[in-house]
Structures are given as structure tokens and as C-alpha cells.
Amino acid sequence: MSEIVKVCEMVARLGGDVLRRWEGRFEVREKAPADLVTEADLESQATIRSRLAQLRPGDAFVGEEDDGLPADIDMSSQSKQIVWIVDPLDGTTNYAHGLPYYAVSVAATQGGRTLAGVVFNPVTEECFSASRGNGAFLNGQAIRISQVERLKDALVAASFPPVVERGSREVESLLNVMEHSQSIRRTGSAALNMCYVASGRFDAYWATRTRSWDVAAGWLIVEEAGGIVVGPAGGEFTLAVSTPIVAATQSLCDELLTHVRW
């Protein structure tokens, strides 16, 4: 397992190097309304994929910039196949605007569960990592969740789709949580939000729409730091569902769930 974590970190840092090299000279286009992609996203993913193919030639690869899940990849609970799930740039809108809140997320999964994961911010050089059963770390130092139990004392982060309509459930949830929490943040990076819960910077986080590459690494990092990750309306979280509620403590998770509308 330690070798897999090392591979996660190696390729995440390679992707981060690509992102730093592209700063200030990339072009931006829309994949969908308000959903951006740059040359940096594409080269970062290609670099990570190429290196993983050299190091782990028998494994499968899923990246954000691919067109869906390849037909030959088995994500079922019975599968023994190692699948690498990669977001080469989580927080593209932040990156495009020069906001230093973005990351590369790399996870090694098997049977729909994350075995090891790394989230790397190339600007701050903060590297969050975890392997199953071995704890969570920030630049090699162990991290733990906060001990906040009540929503009124909690700093909460949220992720919404690129386009949110007035009167939607997302807006209703935002107002509900804003009214009952200490404060709220919408940062633009699901992967970093989860790592910030794991390290105690945020107390809770929820997302109304994410994909597996946004959360595969962060899921394990939160749990290994002692946190709670559940699916919509408190159900079991899986990479197929990919819309998590994340919290430091069970009581905080339970209270947050009463204010989020799905």
C-alpha cells in the first residue's frame, strides 16, 4: 500500500508541475455552460496517464477529461482490477482566474473503494495523502478532523453545479445552512474542501453534484482522518453516487443533513 501512495503522490506532483508551467499562457473554453477546461487540464491528465502506464501497466485509468467510463473498466464490488481515478485540475475556474485554490487529485481504487489517494495543491505545495487503514497526512504530518459537534459552531463548505437557478434546491440548502451555521464557503474545489475537513480547517462540506474524480481521493482522506462521508439524504456513499455529505463528527453530519435538500 505504501508503494501505491508513493505512486499517487509522484503522478499528482507531475500534474501539478504541468499546471504551474501553463500559468498565464493557456486558453479557456467551455465544456458546458460555465464549465471550463484549459490546455493545462488536458496536458496534466495526459502526463499522469502516461506515467501511470509506465509504472502500473496492468491497471485501468479514468480521468475527468475522458468521455465517460471506459467499457472495459469494472468498478463493481467484486472486481480485483486496480482503477486509477484522476482529476488533473480540480478547480479549473479558480485556475483560469488566477485564484490559487485548485489541486490535482489521484486515487487508486479497487472494487469501488479507494485504496490510496493524494490531493496536491501545486501553489501552496500542500500534499494531502491517505491509504486505507494507515491514517491521513499533510506533507507527512498526521491530520485529524475538528471536534465541532453543532452546526452553529461550524465553518461549512459547499459545492454546487456551475449553473444554479434561483429557487432551486441548491439555493434553498445554501440559505438553510447559512442561517444555522457559523459561516459558509463556496471555494470551487471539491477535492480541497474534503481535505480541509480532514485537516480541521473546515468542519463540514456538502456537494449537490460531483463526479468520482472530484471525490475519490478526498473520500479516503476524510475517513482516515476520522471524519464522516455519507451519500444523498444520509445514505451510503459510493463512487457511483458521488454526491457526498462530509463532516467532522457524526452529530454534525446528522444536523447538517436536516438542512440540505436533495
Averaged in consecutive runs of 10 residues, what is the pLDDT profile of the chain (262 residues)?
93 97 74 64 95 95 77 70 95 91 97 96 98 97 97 96 83 93 95 98 93 95 97 89 88 95 80
E strands within the chain?
A: 28-32, 35-38, 60-63, 82-90, 103-110, 113-121, 126-131, 136-138, 141-142, 155-159, 183-185, 204-207, 228-230, 245-247
Angstrom distance (rounded) from CA 89 to CA 161: 16
Which domains are assigned to the chain?
Answer: 2-142 (3.30.540.10), 151-257 (3.40.190.80)
pTM value is 0.93
Report the chain's mean pLDDT, rounded to a whole number. 91
Could you report the per-residue pLDDT of 30-45, keeping only the tens digit for each? 565 545 567 888 999 9
